[in-house]
């Protein structure tokens, strides 16, 4: 049985994270390179990954900007 076909409860944390990373990278690659053949699950994973990257970028941008002071 391939390691990613086991239930998540039976996996170690590192194994589960590796499977999630592989599935996310594969979905993002399919959506970018061949969007017509991507499944709805691939689109959903790619959309969630894009939202996470946007959130991270906004977090970094907020940390770099000086605090605003209101009079």
pLDDT in tens, 9-63: 999 999 999 999 999 899 999 999 999 999 999 999 999 988 999 999 999 999 9
CA dist 14 and 53 (Å) reads: 21
Q: Give the pTM.
A: 0.71
pLDDT score at 13: 95
Q: Which two tokens stand for residue 47?
A: 């959309």
pLDDT score at 66: 82
> Minimal CA–CA distance to 46: which of 26, 60, 18?
26
């Amino acid at each position: 049985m391939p390691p990613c076909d086991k239930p998540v409860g039976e996996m170690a944390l590192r194994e589960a994270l590796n499977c999630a990373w592989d599935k996310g990278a594969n979905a993002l690659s399919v959506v970018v390179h061949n969007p017509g053949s991507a499944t709805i699950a691939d689109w959903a994973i790619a959309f969630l990954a894009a939202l996470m990257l946007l959130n991270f970028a906004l977090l970094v941008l907020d940390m770099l900007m000086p605090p605003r002071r209101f009079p």
